[in-house]
Every structure is written in structure tokens, then in C-alpha cells.
Chain A
Amino acid sequence: MQFFIDLLTVSDSTLRLATPLLLACLAGLFSERAGIFDIGLEGKMLAAAFFSAAVAFVSGSVFLGLLAGIAASLALSLLHGLASITFRGNQLISGVAINFLAAGMTVLVAQSWFQQGGRTPSLFGGARFESLDLPFTNALAGLPFLGPIYAELISGHSILVYLALACVPASWWVLYRTRFGLRLRAVGEAPEAVDTAGISVVGLRYSAVMICGVLCGIAGAYMATALQAGFVKDMTAGRGYIALAALIFAKWRPWYALYSCLLFGFLQALALRPDLIEKYLGFHVQVQLLDALPYVLTVIILAGFVGKAIPPRAGGEPYVKER
């Protein structure tokens, strides 16, 4: 029974930690499937985290904050699009620039706005996403196993967690069951074919980059206004890069993105509880090893030991019309 309770707390933590990864991973998936590599996920999340917290604090409404976060992330996305689609610049360099821009700009604006050391004031009340108690929590509480699972694991998260989970089937449906999705995938594999069919490559790529911006915006807002009550300098702490690793691990597919983010989230959650590993496995595991595992696993996948990770064929290449 104790094992069951421990498992529940770790799973609960897994879900919270995996949500920002999942949103960022899906964001990267849309962008990269359309042929635009995006290592600026981190910067977009950071900008969204700051603007969502700042606007939520000033307006007192977390939903306005969410919108502001999405808008900030979208603005950076469009900048990335402008640099890499319209001006055909190097996508990696543009991404790095966005990361630097966001890291510096958020602290600068926060300092001149709130004078709290590059931090927003603490959010409270309606300026934060409260955890959502799903219906029937009390009715099911009496059931063995199912009751606690429902109450602890499934219910009691912020609405953005459910939104992130819902994004997985939605992304799959958009990418594999709609005309837009087919074209979006095609533009990442063979943009010349899409162009020949008379469809705008530039338009498709811009829309992919904008979807990416919206999802990153939600991820950043989730961290600053749901997991936390405010923005702290560099608070994304490399999650954008872990999301990229998860994207490679998932081989650019939506459902696998869910699994890989849950796996990475689980490893992070496990690293928080070294006592449990010792209790159930009987030996001591260095938490650093668990922290490094997502990267190790990604390298293994990239090296081709477990199937092959093939990125979209036209990824990273600006499209130039033939004359």
C-alpha cells in the first residue's frame, strides 16, 4: 500500500514536470515538421513566463496573463520566422539569438517595471491558475485504488495540464488527418513539391512557426502562473533544451512526444526522491545520474542504437524558389 502511495506522489510530480516539456516539445514538433529548426523554445518559454506573470500581476487576471504570454512568445516566433523564412537566415543562429534576447530582455524589463531584482511580485488570488478539482472526486474517494488515483493523480491539476494533454491527440489529428497537416509535413520534407502544387511554402512555414509560438507561450505561462506564483530570472532552467531532446527521442511524432516527455518528467521526479530508490531498489543511485539520463538516452537514440531518428528532410534549409 505504501508503494502505491509513493508511486502516486511520484506520478503526480511527473505530470507536473512533464507538462511544460510536453507543450514545448509539441511546439518544436510543429515547427520542425515544417522544416524550421527551433532551438529558441527556451527563450520563447522564458519570455512568455515573464509577460504572463507581469500582466497577470498588473491586471489581476491570469487569463489576460496567459494571453500576454502567448503574445510575447508569438512575437519572438515571428521574429524567428522573419529571420529564417523571409530573409533565409540560419535557423540555428536565429534560435540562439532569441534565447539570448529573451534571457536579457526579461530581466531588464522586469527590473525597470517592478524593481524587484528581475523578478515579478508574487501573484495571488485570481492572478494564478488554481488547481482544478474534477467532478466526482468525493464520490469516487471511497473506491480502493481508483479513488486515490482519481483524486491524487488525475484531479487537482491546473487547467493547463489538461490542455497540454489534449494537445497531443489534437496535434496528431491536425498533422495526420487534415489537409493542412499533410501540407505542413510535406513542406518539411519536400518544399519544392508543395510549391509546384501551387501552395505557399512561406505561408505554411509561418503558420507552423506561429503554432509553435502559441504552444511555447502556454508552456511559459504554465510555469510562471500555475507551477509558480511569479517570474524569476532564467526560470525555465534549460527545459526548452530537454524538450528538444524529447522531440528527437520521439522521432518527431506527437504520441511518442507524450511518452518521451512523461519518461523525462518521470526521471526528473525520481531524482527528487532518492530515498524511494534506496527503499525499493535497495541501492543508492546518484541523483546526478538521473538528471543526466534524458540526454544520455537522446544520444543513444541519435547514435542509431534504438531505431533511427530521421529529422524532416528539408529541415534547416531555407526554401529558395527555382527559376
Chain B
Amino acid sequence: MTFMKKLLGATTALVVGAGAAIAEPALIFDLGGKFDKSFNEMAFTGAKRWADETGNSFREIELQSEAQREQALRRFAEAGANPIVMAGFAFASALETVADEYPDTKFAIIDMVVDKPNVRSVVFNEHEGSYLVGMMAAQASKSGTVGFIGGMDIPLIRKFACGYVQGAKAVNPNATVIQNMTGTTPAAWNDPVKGSELTKAQIAQGADVVYAAAGGTGVGVLQTAADEGILSIGVDSNQNYMHPGKVLTSMMKRVDNAVYDAFTQGENLETGFNVMGLSNGGVGYAMDDNNASLVSADMQAAVDAAAAAIGAGEITVHDYMSDNSCPVE
């Protein structure tokens, strides 16, 4: 009997030991899916870059439903994954409960603040990036009217909108910015048909540059803008390639850098509040061969100057989420 116990104990120790030695980092994708050509895919790119450079592996899971959030977190924590990175603000409430249960595991949540000692909260200054593309939109616009199409109507998307309006008004104080949200349910992230109709509606109101911060709905916005001969602005990842010569630029949110950083720090992940802004390469605008002809040297110089000024703190872009209001319409 004692022998049996010892044997069992030894096996357990071996298993635990093996688990501790690997301590793979884990990445959980949100409902949008790993290859969404946007937010989640950026996260994957960052993780892959880390894996390629270090030769290590990481665990990952794509959620299929809302109910799996806690389950996925627990499973990775039980399996000894460390740190566990989750892409998406929607993990907040699940993480609130799970973080306390696994005090030795480090977590990183992107796009949301969870105040726990073992959690790193990564937030992006989307308003700063949106400010820059807003400037470019107003410069490229001939009609003086530019558009914004958001996905689901949540404060985060209003933060994009508010930064965009501020940027457009900074270039042209008389610019009109038309704002529409696709809907109030998660279906608003995947309704390209409605995105198209919203784009047509904004064109009817005179818009000639449209910025889409709307996930899969944005595919419809970019498509219709290209079909109707106006310019569009992509979001999150570089979407310039989707319609070469018709996408003015893309507001890049470097989720890949956030994941890469977290994985690199590994088990010694620095917890707390982590802001990714213009100054540390967290946001920016995309330039490549596809939009080189659309962005003049003057435009780029003006935007780069503004980016430097924001980074140095000379220009302050209002953050909608700081007080849930926007000073400009």
C-alpha cells in the first residue's frame, strides 16, 4: 500500500514537475475568431512572432460561445499555462472571478482594465490613432464631409469616433463628420450588408472618406466605398491591401506588440496598467505600396508632426472613455 502511495505520489510529482517546466504561455481569442483579418489575427501574429523567434510553443483556443470564457481561462490555468493572454474586453467579468482563484498565474487582458494583483491590463490609445487618420481623412476629402461607421455602439467605439472627429476638425474646423453605429448587439460586428447601406447613406449626405471601426461589417464599408469611388479607412490591422488605391490608410492597433511583449516577459509578466499609445508604438497609421499614391508628402508630414506632438504631450486628444462624452460633434 505504501509502495502504491509512493508510486502515485512520484507520478503526480513528475506530472506537476513537467507542467511547471514547460509553462507555456496561452492565448485566448475572442468570438471574432483567430483569422478575422483584424483584432484577433493581430494577436495571433504577435504570438507567432514570439514562437518563431524563441522556438517555443504556446497554447491557444478560439471561443465559440460566451459561456466558454471562464471555462477556457480555468482550463489553461489548471494546465499550468503562464501567462494567459486574452484578446478582448469581453473577458473582464470572467477574469475578475478566475484571477483570484489562481494567484500564481499571470494574466493579461487586452482592451480592458481588471484591477487584480496578477493581471496586466493592456489598453490602447485608439483615440490618438483615430486622431491621425481623422486628419488624413479631412485632408483627402474634397467635399469637407467625412464619415465614421462604428460596429456595436459601445464606449470603446465612441472613443474611436471621438478621436477621429477631433483629428478631422484639427485640419478643417468646418469639416462635417457623419457618425453612424451599425447596431447595439454583437451582430453589429458581422453585418456587411448594413455596413454597405450605411456607406451609401453617408455618400448621399456628401461624405467622400469613410472610416470603418466595425469588424466584419467594415468589409462591406470598404467594398462599397471602393465601388462608389470614394476613399475608406481600415482599422486594427493594415487593411490597405483589401482595395489597393482605394483605402486611404488603416488605423493600426498593434495588438501583436502587446501579445509579443506579454509572451516575452513570460512568467515574470509585469502586472498593472499598460498603456499602448503613439509614444510606444501601440497605435499608428498604415503606409504601404497600396496607398502610397493617395497620401501626399504634405499629408504625411502634417500627420507625423501631429504624432510627434501628441507623443510629446503638446497636443492632448480627448479620450471619450475618460468621461463618456466628446467635446466635438
Binding site for B on A (CB under 8 A): 9, 13, 16-17, 20, 104, 107, 111, 115-119, 122, 223, 227-230, 232-235, 237-238, 268-269, 272-273, 275, 287-288, 291
Contact = CB atoms under 8 A, between A and B. Distances in A.
Contacts of A117: 33-37, 41
Contact of B219 (A16, A119, A272, A273): A119
Given A9-B201, A107-B33, A235 B191 contact: yes
B219 A237 contact: no
Interface string B194-219: 10111011001100000000001001
B33 A228 contact: no
B223 interface: yes
Given A272-B198, A288-B184, A228 B223 contact: yes
Given A17-B193, A17-B197, A234-B187, 7 more contacts: A9-B200, A116-B35, A117-B34, A227-B193, A227-B196, A237-B191, A237-B193
Q: Which of A272, A273, A287 has the most CB of B within 10 A?
A: A272
Nearest to B187: A237
B134 interface: no
B272 interface: no
Interface residues of B, number: 32
B33 A233 contact: yes
A228 B198 contact: no
18 contacts: A13-B197, A17-B197, A104-B64, A117-B33, A117-B34, A117-B36, A227-B196, A228-B192, A228-B193, A228-B219, A234-B216, A235-B193, A237-B193, A237-B194, A268-B194, A272-B194, A288-B184, A291-B183
Contact of A223 (B36, B64, B180, B193): B193
Contacts of B184: 288, 291
Contacts of A13: 197, 200-201
Contacts of A233: 33, 190, 216
B37 A116 contact: yes
B83 interface: no
Contacts of A268: 194, 197
B234 interface: no
Contacts of A291: 183-184
